Each structure stands twice: as structure tokens, then as C-alpha cells.
Chain A
Amino acid sequence: MKNRLGRVVIMAFPPVALFVLLVAIWQIAIAVGNVRSFILPAPVRVAQAAWLHRWELLQATGTTAAAALAGLATSLAVGMVVAVAFSQSAIVRRSVYPYAIFLQTVPSVALAPLVILWFGHEFRSVVVVAFIISLFPIITNATAGLLDLDRNLVELFAMSSASRRQVLLKLQLPNSIPYLIAGAKISCGLSVIGAIVGEFTAGYGDGYYGLGYLIIFASNQMETDFLFAATLASMLLGVVIFAAVSLVGDWILRRWHAPGSAGDALGAN
């Protein structure tokens, strides 16, 4: 336990030290260089703005988190269904896959207005944008996990004359889990981006807003310190969701993580 704590301290020290150093340089540079605060506010001013708007920021972070997580969950469910269809039929895979790639190349900023046109200025529109943006990595990773099977394992199932359904349920689906987790790690960052881009355009009604709305609002008001605080909150949100997904993933894989397995190769450490 003590050792582990020691390791954490050793791991955490360099980035924390760097952070403190950069913030100090930032603060001093602004004091010395006399930079106007609406161009670049000092860290202390950002902290003051964050404290002043703490309840708005908290509520907005909660709303954005809910939209991002709902989008991520939907993309996991839909992505898995699509991947299973891909794994079961080469024809389906070959005809649909190009459109899945197309999905990835559509810029989310261009997509958001269209989604809002269809689904209205509502929470659900933001979820849809987050969902679309985070879907592609889930599809590709889950499909890879369903198809990238150990040849010997396939033959082992063949020796027992296993049915396609047995192979899917007892081999392909469990085999895809590390891949799916790796996909979720990529997608959780994307889902936060999707939610914020959705909120830029959606702008909910009174007393109901996310970080994307706050960012646009602060920008329009030239409240650059508040803008910084909102941007920092969205970064923190992404980090927290990533850490949560990683923890859940590690917990799921805790027993079957042989060194050098697929999970390692994909960075699902």
C-alpha cells in the first residue's frame, strides 16, 4: 500500500510541478507585460471568475456531462449492434462500412445545425450530436474485436461443431470487450466535444444550459476570464469521463489481462 502510494506520488509529481510552474510564469508574464485581461486574463482572475460563477459552471457541467454520457451510451449500444451485423455478414459489412467512414468525416460543427433543425432546440439534439460524433470508433473497434479471433480458438469451436450463434455468444462477443473498451476510451473525449458543439447551436431555454452555451455566452460578453473558466471546466469534464471509463474498463478486464494481450496493444492498460 505504502509502495503504491509512493509510486502515485512519483508519477504525479512531474506534471503537477510543471503545472504550477506554467501557471506561475503565466501570472508573472501578465503582471510584467501588462496584457489586457480581455485578451488573456491572469490565472488568479480566471480562478476568481470560476468562483463567482461556480453554481452556473457546476450546473452547466452536469448538463453537458449528462448529454455526453447519454450520447456515449447510445453510441456503445448502437455501435455494438452495427458491429454484430458487420461480423455476421460480409455483404452488410462491405455495403455499409463506407457510410460509417463518411460519418467520421462529417465535421461536427456542420452537423449540429442540421440535427437541431430536425430535433429542436432541446437536450435530445445535443445527445444526438454527441452520439454521432462518438459512434465511429465504437463501430470500428467492436467490429475488429468480433472478427480478430485466434485461429486456434475458432478451430476449437469447430471441433465441437459449434453453431454460429454459439461462436458469436461464447467467442466473438467476449473477445470484442477489450476492443470495445479501447473504443469507448477514444469516444468518451469525442462525446464531450460533440455535446459542447451541440450546445453551441442548441442554446437551451431559461435556467437550463450546458458548458457550450456558457462558452458562447462568455465570448459574446467579452468575459474572457469566465470563458477560460468554462473551457477549463469542459476539459476537466473530458478528463473525468475518460478516467471513469478507464477505471470501469480496467475493472472489467481485471482477471483476464495477460501481458501482451490485445488490450495492451490498443492502449487499454
Chain B
Amino acid sequence: MSTELFTTPTATPLVEIAAVDVTYRDGLRAVEGVNFSLRAGEFVALVGPSGCGKSTLLRSIAGLLRPSRGRLTVAGLEPVQARREATRMSFVFQDPTLLPWRDVYHNIALPLELVGDDRRGWEARIRQAIELVGLADFAGSYPAELSGGMRMRVSLARALVTDPALLLMDEPFAALDDITRQTLNEELLSLWESRHWTGIFVTHNIAEAIFLSQRVLVLSRRPGRVVADVPIPFPFPRGSELRAQADFARLTGEIAAHLREASR
């Protein structure tokens, strides 16, 4: 497959969500009347009170759930169709979600196996993905032998090995300690700067959302709707010193205020 197939013109949005409701089978409405769109190459963070439907929205974009109303497209197509035909998508779960019977190398190989790509070039891509997340010495280790942070790195490498155009991340670092989380934030950002995929990052950590993204969308409590769309103006590359800046604190306060309002 040629790479051109996966490049979307920047002018048209890659993800478009218009008046979308997602209702569960038991009648519970998770999100309601959500509108937003994402340009290709954009990195957006989704924050909101717990249980506000952030994950539901992300799963809908991934085509794992179907909206009950409204229009949700990726590259102009239904998400499932887009995933099969047009846009390489990867999903990073809150848990590392690794296969315990496979070592690091073969866990990362899984998406390539499932897509059934030409086997030539696999090894180089897998090695490169392992290299990217700094686990070169652990290719033969099994998940049970790794720390939580390392398992999350494997999960990230597995998401990146297919060279996705759209990377959907569902609170991937929520279970990690603060230092590991910040390190992974910085690593994730430098990966994004070199690869320029389109990213949607769900989190309930405001600092993480600001540090990573170009825009922070604030969702209200259930049924979730977008109550604020805050642009994050800091230039890239961003380093850890950004977290100490006054503007960073000001934005944190602003988004926290939105969240308080949204939780009411």
C-alpha cells in the first residue's frame, strides 16, 4: 500500500462530528449533540468529569460504537469503512492490553499480522517501533516481566507500528505514576512531532491535556456535550519546562473552571 492513500488534504477535516448522540442499549444517553471537527495532523485532548462519555465518543470515532443520531465521519467515510479502506487508525487503551503469551516483539507485530500486510519489511518496522519507545533491550521479554510504564510503551509501539494516520488514546497513562506519565507525555509529543499523525487524547488530567495538545475540548457531565474548545497556543517542540510557565498555569486554571462548570 502506498503512503499517499493515507494522506488527507489538510483543508478538509479528517474527523467530522455533527449533532452526534450515542445512546446505549439500556437507553442511557452517553453523549448528546456533540459537534467538532479535526484537521489532519491536529492533536486534540478531550477532558471531562468521569463518566461523561469521553471514552464513548472516542470509541465511536474508532467505529467500535455506532452513534444513535447525527453524522460522524473519518476522511468523509463511516468510521468502520474508513478504518478498512482509507485511514489507518490505532487505538491505545487505558490498560496496556497486551497478549500475555506473546513477547514484546510479537505483541507489536500483531496489527501487522491481522492486516495481513506483505511480510517483507515487518522486521524493520517492528524494530523501529521498539526503538522509538526505548525498549530495544526488551524485545524478547513477556508482559508479565515488564513494569507498568514499560507495558504502556509496548502498547504505544504496537499502535505506531502500522504508521497510523489517526491515533486514538483513551487515558493511556492514567494508571501510571506522575513521573512516568510526564516522561511518556514528552516521548509521545516528540513522536507526534516527527510523524504528524492526527491525535485524540482522552484524559482527566488537565496538565497532561494542555501539555500535549493544540486544542482542549471540555465535555460536560453525562450526557456529554462539548462546553468549551480552548486553543493551546504553545509552540512546538515543547519541553518539560513548559509546565512551570505562568501561561501554563493560567490555562490550567481556565480549563479547571470550565470543568467545574461542566460538572455541575
A159 contacts B99, CB within 8 Å?
Answer: no
B6 to chain A, nearest CB (A): 15
- Please measure, in the bound complex, the distance between the C-alpha atom of A177 and the C-alpha atom of B83, giving whole angstroms: 31
A156 contacts B93, CB within 8 Å?
Answer: yes
- Please measure, in the bound complex, the distance between the C-alpha atom of A157 and the C-alpha atom of B91, giving whole angstroms: 10
Those of B107-121 within 8 Å (CB) of chain A: 110-111, 113-115
- Please measure, in the bound complex, the distance between the C-alpha atom of A261 and the C-alpha atom of B144, giving whole angstroms: 10
Report if A34 contacts B (CB, 8 A). no
Q: Nearest chain-B residue to A167 (Cβ)? A: B114
Q: Which residues of B contact A155 (CB under 8 A)?
A: 59, 62, 64, 91, 93
Report if B90 contacts A (CB, 8 A). yes
1/0 contact string of A149-160 vs chain B (CB within 8 Å) = 010110111111
Contact-residue size bin, chain B (C-beta under 8 Å from the other chain): 20 to 34
A255 contacts B99, CB within 8 Å?
Answer: no
Q: Which residues of A contact B93 (CB under 8 A)?
A: 152, 155-156
Q: Which residues of B contact A150 (CB under 8 A)?
A: 97
Q: Which residues of A contact B138 (CB under 8 A)?
A: none
Those of A10-32 within 8 Å (CB) of chain B: none
Q: Which residues of A contact B99 (CB under 8 A)?
A: 153, 170-171, 174
Contact-residue size bin, chain A (C-beta under 8 Å from the other chain): 20 to 34
- Please measure, in the bound complex, the distance between the C-alpha atom of A26 and the C-alpha atom of B103, giving whole angstroms: 54
Q: Which residues of A contact B94 (CB under 8 A)?
A: 152
Report if A269 contacts B (CB, 8 A). no
Q: Lowest 3 A-B CB distances belong to which pairs? A: A160-B114, A256-B100, A258-B144
Q: Nearest chain-B residue to A263 (Cβ)? A: B100
Those of A155-175 within 8 Å (CB) of chain B: 155-162, 166, 170-171, 174
State whether A160 and B100 are in contact (beta carbons under 8 Å apart), knowing that A255-B142, A258-B143, A258-B144 are contacts in the complex: no
Determine which of B91, B114, B144 lies in contact with A257 in the assembled complex, contact meaning CB atoms within 8 Å. B144
A170 contacts B64, CB within 8 Å?
Answer: no
